[in-house]
Amino acid sequence: MKKIYFVFAILVVSICSCSDATLTDGPKEYLVLPEQPYAYDQLNLPQGTSPTIFDDFGFINGQPVFNGKMEVTPWGATLGRVLFYDKKLSLNNTVACASCHHQDKAFSDGKQFSTGFEGRVTTRNSMAIINPILQNNLFWDSRSQSIHDLSLRPVINHIEMGMDNLDNLVGKLENTDYYKPLFLKAFGTEDISPENISKAISQFVASITTNRSRFDISQKDGSSNLNSLEIMGMELFNSDKAKCASCHGGGNMAAQDGPNDPYGSGGGSFGSPTDDLKGATNIGLELDYADNGLGNGRFRIPSLRNIDLTSPYMHDGRFNTLEEVIDHYTNGVKPHKNLDVKFTDGHGNLKRLDLNSIEKKAIIAFLKTLTDTEMTKDPKWSNPFRS
Ligand code: HEC
Ligand code: HEC
pLDDT at 60: 40
pLDDT at 338: 94
Q: What would you report as the CA-atom Rg of the chain, rounded to the nearest whole angstrom?
A: 22
Distance 301 CA to ligand 2 centre (A): 6
**CB of 301 sitting under 6 A from ligand 2:** yes
Ligand 1, atom nearest to 135 Cα: 26
Take atom 11 of ligand 2 and give the residue whose Cα is closest.
Answer: 301
Interval 87-107 mean pLDDT: 94
Q: CA-to-CA distance for 79 and 83, rounded, in angstroms? A: 6
pLDDT band at 16 (very low <50, low <70, confident <90, very high): very low
Ligand closest to Cα of 323 equals 2
pLDDT(282) > 60: yes
What number of CA atoms fall less than 13 Å from residue 314's CA on the CB side?
Answer: 22
Ligand 1, atom nearest to 117 Cα: 1
Interval 330-341 mean pLDDT: 96
Ligand closest to Cα of 155 equals 1
Distance 100 CA to ligand 1 centre (A): 7
Ligand closest to Cα of 124 equals 1
**CB of 205 sitting under 6 A from ligand 1:** yes
**CB of 313 sitting under 6 A from ligand 2:** yes
pLDDT tens profile 205-252? 989 999 999 999 999 887 779 999 999 999 999 999 999 999 999 999
Q: CA-to-CA distance for 42 and 52, rounded, in angstroms? A: 16
pLDDT tens profile 147-164? 777 777 777 776 788 887
Interval 294-318 mean pLDDT: 97
pLDDT(337) > 60: yes
pLDDT(68) > 50: no
Distance 155 CA to ligand 2 centre (A): 29
Distance 248 CA to ligand 2 centre (A): 7
CA nearest 120: which of 144, 97, 95? 95
pLDDT at 221: 81
pLDDT band at 270 (very low <50, low <70, confident <90, very high): low
**CB of 150 sitting under 6 A from ligand 1:** yes
pLDDT band at 27 (very low <50, low <70, confident <90, very high): low
pLDDT at 271: 53
**CB of 202 sitting under 6 A from ligand 1:** no
**CB of 252 sitting under 6 A from ligand 1:** no
pLDDT(354) > 80: yes
pLDDT(273) > 70: no
CA nearest 196: which of 179, 212, 175, 210? 179
- 206 contacts: CB under 8 Å, gap ≥ 6: 57, 72, 77, 132, 133, 147
pLDDT at 346: 82
Residue 258 has a CB neighbour count (10 Å cut-off) of 16
pLDDT(17) > 60: no
Ligand 2, atom nearest to 281 Cα: 12
Ligand closest to Cα of 361 equals 2
Ligand 2, pocket-test mutation among 113, 244, 305, most atoms within 8 A of CB: 244
pLDDT at 267: 55
pLDDT tens profile 32-61? 999 999 999 887 889 887 655 444 554 444
Lowest mean pLDDT among 19-23, 34-38, 338-342: 19-23
